[in-house]
Amino acid sequence: MSANVKIDVEAILAAKAGKKARYIPKFVVSYLKKIIHQDQVNQFLAEHGDKRDLEFIQAFMDNFNNSFEIRGLENLPKEGRCTFVSNHPLGAQDGLGLGLILGSQYEGKIKFLANDLLMNIPNIASFFIPINKTGKQSRNLSQQVTAAFDSDNHIIMFPAGLCSRKKNGVVHDLEWKKTFVVKSVQSQRDVVPIHFEGENSNFFYRLANLQELLHLKFNIAMLYLSDEMYKNSNKKFTVTIGKPIPWQTFDNSKKPAEWAKYVQDIVYSLK
């Protein structure tokens, strides 16, 4: 991978907004570059742009001085294909951290359903099935998801789709989507619950709650996840891996959405 890989906010806006991008004021673009930490990210990419996959993620963790206390490592299945599902408290260190932990255990045979903005970092793009959080989905998304579940790779998912929210002082995921239940049954994958301990800043949660209150379609809080990534530097995170749930558990006694809530409750019981 070339060391010339760079994050270009203007190019991303052009790709997302098309012709409308020209009407975005320059001060807004400058502010976005600041909160995304474009210069700092590009400095990191310049130094580590030749690394790929798990080696790149390890460099990321080293750069931010992040480490993990892993509990329940013995619960990781030695055979078969699994769907690993976790709460999503952070936005960067949780996703990449699970990628590093599980990828190291399974020789890099992992796939994420993740925000398509991550495709702008080609060093780790091979791990991702891109989900568009700001516009229309790719027409072949369903085929990509099915192909991933039918593959020999382990699947890592954050079923809430968005980062956790903080309400009444408690950080908790939004409602989990049922996709992981349906697809795991179809592909006969056991589900492994994981709890990732961590939280973003109060500013992030206030912004996310305001966005919800105003019923804004665009996920403004997402723009600040890079800033939150830097705020979560120099931290050690506790990751707890639960016992696998056999795919046969998800029978017709509950609707898929109810099974999703069942697994979500198990994840938070691991805390």
Tokens matching residue 21: 């991008």
Strands ordered across the beta sheet of 154-157 = 67-71, 236-241, 190-196, 82-86, 154-157, 110-115, 128-131
**How far apart (Å, rounded) are the C-alpha atoms in residues 54 and 215?**
38
Query: Which pLDDT tens digit goes with each residue over 31-88?
Result: 999 999 999 999 999 999 899 999 999 999 999 999 999 999 999 999 999 999 999 9
What are the extents of the domains in the chain? 1-50, 63-269
The reported pLDDT for the residue numbered 115 is 67
Q: At what angle do helices 256-269 and 179-186 cross, to 10 degrees?
A: 100
1 — pLDDT class (breaks 50, 70, 90):
very low
- Please give the residue that has the higher pLDDT: either 37 or 117: 37
- Please give the residue that has the higher pLDDT: either 69 or 118: 69
Coil, helix or strand for 212? helix
2 — pLDDT class (breaks 50, 70, 90):
very low
Strands (E), 102-179: 110-115, 128-131, 154-157, 165-167, 170-172
CATH number of 63-269: 3.40.1130.10
Q: Mean of the pLDDT values across residues 238-258?
A: 98
**How far apart (Å, rounded) are the C-alpha atoms in residues 195 and 220?**
26
The answer to whether residue 17 scores a pLDDT higher than 90 is no
Instruction: Give the predicted TM-score (pTM) of the model.
Output: 0.89
Query: Which pLDDT tens digit goes with each residue over 127-180?
Result: 988 776 445 555 677 888 888 999 999 999 999 999 999 999 999 999 999 999
**How far apart (Å, rounded) are the C-alpha atoms in residues 47 and 39?**
12
Q: At what angle do helices 53-63 and 93-105 cross, to 10 degrees?
A: 130
Query: Which pLDDT tens digit goes with each residue over 174-233?
Result: 999 999 999 999 999 999 999 999 999 999 999 999 988 888 877 889 889 999 999 999
Q: Mean of the pLDDT values across residues 222-250?
A: 96
The reported pLDDT for the residue numbered 89 is 97
The answer to whether residue 263 scores a pLDDT higher than 60 is yes
How distant is the alpha carbon of residue 28 from its chain centre?
A: 26
